[in-house]
Amino acid sequence: MDIQVRVWRQAGPSDKGKMVTYDVKDISPDASFLEMLDVLNENLILSGDEPVAFDHDCREGICGACGMMINGVAHGPEKATTTCQLHMRHFNDGDTIDVEPWRAAPFPVIKDLVVNRGAFDRIIQAGGYITAPTGTAPEAHSTPVPKPDADLAFEAATCIGCGACVAACPNGSSMLFTAAKVAHLGLMPQGQPERATRVIDMLEAQDDAGFGGCTNMGECTTVCPKGIPLTLIGRLNADYRKSVRGN
């Protein structure tokens, strides 16, 4: 299949960017979106041009590195799919595809499609840990955890920190990310000692980074490749209210 790709090109954080159009021919419908970008970059290098910079690592939908807007949708048109798992068969021969970086003030563009997501790291550093000494690995049943709590904690822990929730949110909010990180520790016995301070510290770090406020639009969970539920934001808000009241 032959497609036309309009890609955001920006040489550096302080440079002015623009959309540049490229033709990419003979792409297999079974190729992933990132493999298509690989072919584009090979062609650019052979012609003496600068390749398009984009983030990638595992290419298995695990690491969360491959964030980009595809035709205005975070990670592209398929639900519960990372960019690296999006295949070209979901597009049509002759399509024009727009590819842009995440658009959020706390995610400044480094180059082309690569943004700095260090703000997420600072949120994690503020409270995404436990201090309870665990020693060697305990027996699996030595700390009873109710099955519903374990399931919800695991669901929250599947967040890969890609930033799609921020890119999709009209307010540029990271509440779904923060809620997932607060919930997966707060639901487990080992995470209880910091439960009250964790939610306060992580929300303060979120605000300091410049993320917007949540107004429950729901776009975040719609584009989340791991399907993190919006209900976790409600859980975070409940924990925050209890923490500031000292209950």
Burial class (CB in 10 A: 0-12, 13-18, 19+), 44: middle
| Single residue among 55, 88, 110 that ends a domain in this structure | 110
Residues 183 and 147 placed together within one structural domain of the fold: yes
**Pick from 52, 72, 74: which is nearest to 160 by CA?**
74
| Single residue among 110, 144, 167 that ends a domain in this structure | 110
Q: What band does 140 get if pLDDT is binned at 50, 70 and 90?
A: low
- Mean pLDDT over 9-18 rounds to 96
User: 197 is in which domain, residue-wise?
Assistant: 117-245
Residues 121 and 240 placed together within one structural domain of the fold: yes
Give pLDDT, residue 9. 98
Q: Say if residues 106 and 172 touch (Cβ distance below 8 Å).
A: yes
- What is the DSSP annotation of 106-151? TS-EEETTEE--HHHHHHHHHH----S---SPPPTTSS---HHHHH
What size, in residues, is the chain?
247
Residues 90 and 162 placed together within one structural domain of the fold: no
Give me the chain's average pLDDT, please: 95
Q: What band does 139 get if pLDDT is binned at 50, 70 and 90?
A: confident
Residues 51 and 144 placed together within one structural domain of the fold: no
Q: State the Cα–Cα distance between residues 99 and 107, nearest whole angstrom.
A: 16
| Single residue among 110, 140, 167 that ends a domain in this structure | 110
pTM, two decimals, is 0.93
